[in-house]
Structure 1
Amino acid sequence: MIGQKAVFFLVREEILPEAIKKTIKVKDMLKRGEARTINEAVEKMELSRSAYYKYKDYVFPFYEASKEKIITLALLLEHKQGVLSKVLNTIAYDRGSVLTINQGIPLQGVANATISIETAELAIDLEALLDKVRMIEGVKRLEVLGQA
């Protein structure tokens, strides 16, 4: 790809072909030490070695693409004392660096908020952090607006 810029897409898992899904799982198994060799991992996933090698350098989970990036989150929060504080504490606990916070005036019991975080020092992967934030009582919606 000399002279060509790589183009990336954010695609939901359910539309990916099985070989790509399995390649991602093989890479994860190797990373977590659940398989010692590529042969062992592809065998467990019932994936051919050639398919693994074909896709391995081109597919990766969203959180890997988000390492050392700035992520902007859009949240819909209940207008209750401490909800925003719990969100910020959760991000800080897992070593996300909050760069900006914007919160609108609450209307009809909810407020929109946007938070930009730097992910370089995250102690957990981004998907796990987003799941933790979604579980906070009072967080009605969480979406990733973008990344830089």
Structure 2
Amino acid sequence: MGNRFYVVKEQAVPEVLLKVVEAKKLLDSGRAHTVNEAADQVGISRSSFYKYKEDIFEFHEHSQGTTITLTFQMEDEPGLLSDVLKIIAQFGANILTIHQSIPINGVASLSLSIQVLPTTGDVSDMLEAMEAQKGVRNVKLLAKE
């Protein structure tokens, strides 16, 4: 098995992996000074930490300086696309392309290519904010370059 990557929602990730991410945050922030201390604080063994530490990371950590392509459906409502674009702007990402289908039964399909900059906020939070926008559904990450 090679280096294949998957993007999954947090709810699908086993708890031990989420705790490894939290332990890494504790170490990076200085709130824990040793692996043993970080593992104890999050409730995992040191062996679990070492087993998974290179294989799990938050999406945001490895998205800066890249281009991501998103797809989603959106109701055909005046100003809704503008609201979605404002969310992206609020997170400090740069929109490269917008492709929108003609609405069918009041719903349009869109794909956006977005440049993630070093100053961009957490991409996962941005996607969550987009999906929470009334009239927007099924926000999916298609590609990361």
Deviant stretches of 4+, over 6 Å: none
Superposition RMSD on alpha carbons, in Å? 2.1
Residue 127 of structure 1, CA deviation: 0.6
How many positions carry a matched residue from both structures? 142
Structure 1 residues not aligned, in runs of 5+: 1-5
Question: For 2:108 and 2:17, how far apart are their aligned partners in 1?
Answer: 39
Question: SS at the partner of 1:98?
Answer: strand
Query: Is 1:143 equivalent to 2:140 in the alignment?
Result: yes
1:44 partner SS: helix
Moved more, 73-82 or 20-29: 20-29
| Residue from 17, 21, 36 that aligns with 2:32 | 36
TM-score by length of 1: 0.83
Instruction: Quote the residue 2:79 is aligned against.
Output: 82
Can you give the 5+ residue segments of structure 2 that lack an aligned partner in the other structure? Answer: none
Q: What is the Cα deviation at residue 119 of structure 1?
A: 0.9
Report the CA distance shift for 1:11/1:112 in structure 2 as closer, same or farther (over 3 A).
closer
Q: 1:32 to 1:147 in 2, by over 3 A?
A: same
Q: Which residue of the other structure, out of 5, 8, 15, is the alignment partner of 2:4? A: 8
- Deviations for 1:63-88, whole angstroms, at most 9, x for unmatched residues? 22322211101010100001111111
